[in-house]
């Protein structure tokens, strides 16, 4: 097995997830096409189990665990979406789960973990190292540590969303110019890049990041891993990884056309647009690709652009604020 997942690994993950994960459709809206002057197809992973793409990677990884080697089940660290994906996968597979979550994680995401049987260990995302906390728990309890993005099987699982896009585009006889993917640690971006490039080698893949947390953009420019100067401070709570993963960046530096940074104001505007015009309720990190297009930070005019809408686990108060315009 290669150190990095290939298309065959993503296809194997898709077979593993068949009948387990939802096959989310590609959605097209005439008013959105008119607004940006191009053809936009949205992949609504907010309709996925647990409300985000993260279930794909979590299930693909956890379903392959050697239970005798890890009697304590699973421990993970996450701001919320990976946490819910892990808790749901463990619930379905009959395994206990513990998730290390930041104290400022949205209440909706905390509730999602608890409702799925997961136990939360809170930490301060600025002062404490979540990975070390999780690894300490794993060592003490005999649990398997399932990282949020920098893992072969996690990347392959997330790539199944990109594989579904590629297959549906093929059925539609549509050739994409670009795919925009919300990016934190880079697992979804990397997996989707592998899947899309296997089917559409000329398609350009872009990582979309919050302004001030554009570690992928700076890493791509520098040719080495760069670290964000802050660990909090954006509305996009799901996209605040401090630096790209080793495995994810090894893929992304080869396959990405670039990265785009989007400020919070544009993200808020995109949330409002999605709610009011598209009748979709994405979370901030999930709508950032749409924000890049609506704000003109990515020019979609005359292009066929696929936008990954990666999650919909926003707190109700934030959704109400966006709905009010």
For residue 108, the model assigns a pLDDT of 85
Task: Please say whether the beta carbons of 285 and 239 come within 8 A.
Answer: yes
Sheet harboring 119-123: ordered strands across?
119-123, 97-102, 74-77, 144-145
CATH 3.40.50.1100, applies to 7-50+151-323: yes
Distance CA 195, CA 188 (A): 11
Beta 119-123 vs 304-309: how paired, if at all?
unpaired
Q: Where are the domains of the chain?
A: 7-50+151-323, 55-145
Same fold, 7-50+151-323 and 55-145: yes
Neighbours of 317 (CB within 10 A): 11
Q: Which of 259, 156, 251, 182 is nearest to 214 (CA)?
A: 259
In words, the CATH class of domain 55-145 is alpha beta
Query: 122: phi > 0 → left, psi -120 to 50 → alpha, else beta; which?
Result: beta
* Per-residue tens of pLDDT for the chain, all 325 residues: 468 999 999 999 999 999 999 999 999 999 999 999 999 999 999 999 999 999 999 999 999 999 999 999 999 998 889 999 999 999 999 999 999 998 988 888 899 999 999 999 999 988 899 889 999 999 999 999 999 999 999 999 999 999 999 999 999 999 999 999 999 999 999 999 999 999 999 999 999 999 999 999 999 999 999 999 998 899 999 999 999 999 999 999 999 999 999 999 999 999 999 999 999 999 999 999 999 999 999 999 999 999 999 999 988 888 888 888 5
Task: Please say whether the beta carbons of 183 and 220 come within 8 A.
Answer: no
């Amino acid at each position: 097995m290669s150190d990095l997942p290939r298309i065959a690994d993503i296809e194997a993950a898709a077979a593993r997830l068949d009948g387990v994960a939802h096959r989310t459709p590609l959605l097209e809206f005439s008013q959105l096409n008119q607004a940006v002057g191009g053809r936009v197809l949205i992949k609504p992973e907010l309709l996925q189990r647990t409300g985000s793409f993260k279930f794909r990677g979590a299930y693909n990884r956890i379903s392959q665990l050697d239970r005798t080697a890890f009697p304590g089940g699973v421990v993970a660290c996450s701001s919320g979406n990976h946490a819910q994906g892990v808790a749901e996968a463990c619930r379905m597979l009959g395994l206990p789960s513990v998730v290390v979550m930041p104290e400022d994680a949205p209440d909706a995401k905390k509730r999602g973990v608890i409702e799925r049987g997961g136990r939360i260990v809170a930490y301060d995302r600025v002062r404490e190292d979540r990975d070390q906390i999780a690894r300490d728990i794993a060592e003490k309890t005999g649990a398997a540590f399932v990282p949020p993005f920098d893992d072969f099987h996690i990347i392959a699982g997330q790539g199944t969303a990109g594989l579904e896009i590629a297959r549906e585009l093929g059925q539609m006889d549509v050739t994409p110019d670009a795919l925009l993917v919300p990016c934190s640690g880079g697992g979804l971006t990397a997996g989707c890049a592998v899947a899309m490039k296997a089917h559409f080698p000329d398609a350009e893949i872009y990582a979309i990041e919050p302004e001030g947390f554009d570690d992928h953009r700076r890493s791509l420019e520098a040719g080495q891993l760069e670290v964000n100067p802050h660990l909090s401070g954006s509305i996009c709570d799901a996209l605040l990884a401090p630096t790209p993963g080793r495995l994810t960046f090894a893929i992304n530096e080869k396959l990405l056309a670039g990265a785009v940074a989007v400020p919070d104001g544009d993200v808020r505007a995109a949330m409002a647009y999605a709610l009011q015009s598209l009748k979709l309720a994405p979370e901030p990190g999930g709508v950032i690709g749409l924000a890049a297009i609506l704000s003109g930070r990515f020019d979609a005019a005359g292009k066929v652009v696929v936008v990954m809408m990666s999650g919909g686990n926003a707190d109700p108060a934030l959704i109400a604020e966006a709905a009010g315009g």
